[in-house]
């Protein structure tokens, strides 16, 4: 059995099984076979003719260009890679592909997670093992008298740059978990990447996304004012370092949107998609932008593009369900969300959104079950509690809802409790006056939830109140984010 590791991944070159930090990553047979071919020849160009011969064979007749492009997209999706700024698979137009990440052979460490395997290789008293790329280089040098060795050395990243790439990939892995602890772990990995390579644009883009997560209503680790400026600075720095990095524009678009600078947010998100039409993050954030602007059918189209790009992604399917919810297609949203939580029972956001859809469908008991699970998975995060209070209130259990309100108000004196969470709890106790006050504070503090108040069906009990409508209209009018003046403008985006 021949196994190798790269970043957080482990690949069996014989069976083509791919794992990430010990968890299986699904790849269809042809993309998996192509990945194994690229990894086995890491560090050198694998031509399109070689791919045709080794993956499909001379007697197989397919639309080769379409097939190989599909396989590469699936590989990049599985590895969370980016065609514009690749960490793993580099495209050489009209020639082929090259696997550019450092690769490490694994011998007898099957029971260890990838990080432990890497450590065991360093500490092992056995003869040092050469990475696959080094083996290829040495064999080529023997055959060509050193010409291939010189060429391969010229394309190898420096050790520091290679370590930076690995740290960025680990940071991305933890970001996908969407918890406060994992977002903080991701930040440490992105900072480690910058210590290795101070000019790593992907590391700055990852930092911006992690800061945004910490300030979100769902995680609520920090008030948005504490982290949003950090997110802005990190995203802008990423664009300065790499003006064609789609992730950086998408993250800056997300931050700008939550400051209610709608026009520049859309320009940034459109630029991200223009730079990389296959960038799932860009489509994901743009879908959220569109639904906040009440452009529901466009939002659903963007979410479906995410699913097309990442068919097996829980995150993409979760986005589609959420967009269906905003369009009041509750039955379809609930079906999608039930599939998601069955696929990944510990995915807290899936249970949270399912509870949300069940509340507006007035299926109170089912909603309470889902939200109790969310509260447990998030360690009593304020947003989970606020939505649970709303479900209790809908069922008529005002006492249970009031207990949650009391808990949130007590916690607000010692920790950050987002106004969006308190708002939901007040609706649960039918305290509309305090709910309206929470809406106003949410707007003043630029709480992440405020971008959706004009669209969210959960706000229906407040819509007839003129004070709520006044805030909703302010949100839809938007503002101008002064921090971007002189840095990013619609005109400068068009000229890039």
Per residue in 414-443, pLDDT (tens digit) is 888 999 899 999 999 999 999 999 999 988
Asked if domains 3-156 and 346-462 share a fold, the reply is no
Give the CATH fold of the 278-338 domain: 1.25.40
The residue ranges of every structural domain in the chain are 3-156, 278-338, 346-462
Is the pLDDT score of 137 beyond 90? no
| Greater model confidence, 139 or 408 | 408
Contact 327, 314 (CB under 8 A): no
| Greater model confidence, 190 or 156 | 190
DSSP codes of every residue in 359-419: HHTT-HHHHHHHHHHHHHHTTS-HHHHHHHHHHHHHHT-HHHHHHHHHHHHHHTTTS---H
pLDDT of residue 124: 31
The span from the CA of 15 to the CA of 458, in Å, is 49
Segment 358-363 shows an average pLDDT of: 97
Predicted TM-score (pTM) of this structure: 0.68
Segment 258-269 shows an average pLDDT of: 94
Give the CATH fold of the 346-462 domain: 1.25.40
Contact 39, 13 (CB under 8 A): yes
pLDDT bucket at 211, cuts 50 / 70 / 90: very high
Per residue in 8-28, pLDDT (tens digit) is 788 999 899 998 766 778 788
- Strand 3-6 relative to strand 23-25, pairing: unpaired
The span from the CA of 334 to the CA of 131, in Å, is 47
| Greater model confidence, 163 or 365 | 365
Per residue in 80-95, pLDDT (tens digit) is 777 777 888 988 888 8
Class of domain 3-156: mainly alpha
The span from the CA of 95 to the CA of 474, in Å, is 53
Share in percent of the chain as helix, strand, coil (round to 5): 65, 5, 30
Per residue in 460-480, pLDDT (tens digit) is 999 999 999 999 999 999 987
Least confident segment among 116-130, 181-195, 340-354: 116-130
Chain mean pLDDT for the chain: 83
Query: Rounded to the nearest 5 degrees, what angle is found at the Cα of 153, between the Cα atoms of 152 and 156?
Result: 90
């Amino acid at each position: 059995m021949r196994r190798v590791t790269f970043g957080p991944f482990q690949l069996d070159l014989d069976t083509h099984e791919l794992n990430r930090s010990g968890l299986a990553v699904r790849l269809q047979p042809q993309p998996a076979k192509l990945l194994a071919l690229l990894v086995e020849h890491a560090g050198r160009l694998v031509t399109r003719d070689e791919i045709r011969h080794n993956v499909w064979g001379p007697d197989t007749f397919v639309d080769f260009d379409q097939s190989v492009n599909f396989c590469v997209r699936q590989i990049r999706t599985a590895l969370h890679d980016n065609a514009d700024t690749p960490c793993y698979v580099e495209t050489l137009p009209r020639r082929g592909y090259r696997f550019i990440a450092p690769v490490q052979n694994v011998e007898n460490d099957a029971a260890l997670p990838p990080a432990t395997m890497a450590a065991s290789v360093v500490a092992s008293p056995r003869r040092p093992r050469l990475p696959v790329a080094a083996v290829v280089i040495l064999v080529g040098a023997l055959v060509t008298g050193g010409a291939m060795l010189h060429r391969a050395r010229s394309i190898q990243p420096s050790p520091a740059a290679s370590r930076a790439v690995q740290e960025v990939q680990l940071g991305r892995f933890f970001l996908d978990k969407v918890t406060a602890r994992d977002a903080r772990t991701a930040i440490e990995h992105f900072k480690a990447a910058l210590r290795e390579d101070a000019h790593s644009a992907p590391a700055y883009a990852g930092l911006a996304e992690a800061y945004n997560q910490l300030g979100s209503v769902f995680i609520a680790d920090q008030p948005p004012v504490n982290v949003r400026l950090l997110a802005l600075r990190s995203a802008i720095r990423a664009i300065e370092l790499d003006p064609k990095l789609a992730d950086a524009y998408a993250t800056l678009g997300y931050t700008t949107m939550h400051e209610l600078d709608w026009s520049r947010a859309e320009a940034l998100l459109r630029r991200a998609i223009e730079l990389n039409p296959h960038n799932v993050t860009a489509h994901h954030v743009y879908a959220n932008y569109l639904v906040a602007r009440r452009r529901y059918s466009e939002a659903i189209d963007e979410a479906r593009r995410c699913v097309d790009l990442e068919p097996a992604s829980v995150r993409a399917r979760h986005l589609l369900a959420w967009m269906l919810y905003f369009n009041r297609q509750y039955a379809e949203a609930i079906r999608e969300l039930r599939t998601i939580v069955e696929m990944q029972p510990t995915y807290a956001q899936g249970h949270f959104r399912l509870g949300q859809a069940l509340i507006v469908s007035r299926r109170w008991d089912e909603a309470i079950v889902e939200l109790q699970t969310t509260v447990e998975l998030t360690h009593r995060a304020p947003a989970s509690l606020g939505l649970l209070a709303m479900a209790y209130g809908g069922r008529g259990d005002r006492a249970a809802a009031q207990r949650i309100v009391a808990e949130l108000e007590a916690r607000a004196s010692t920790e950050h409790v987002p106004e969006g969470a308190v708002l939901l709890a007040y609706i649960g106790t039918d305290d509309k006056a305090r709910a309206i006050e929470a809406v106003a504070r949410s707007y003043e503090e630029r709480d992440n939830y405020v971008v959706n108040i004009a669209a969210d069906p959960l706000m229906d009990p407040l819509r007839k109140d003129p004070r709520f409508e006044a805030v909703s209209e302010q949100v839809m009018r938007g503002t101008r984010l002064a921090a971007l003046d002189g840095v990013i403008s619609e005109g400068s985006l068009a000229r890039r």
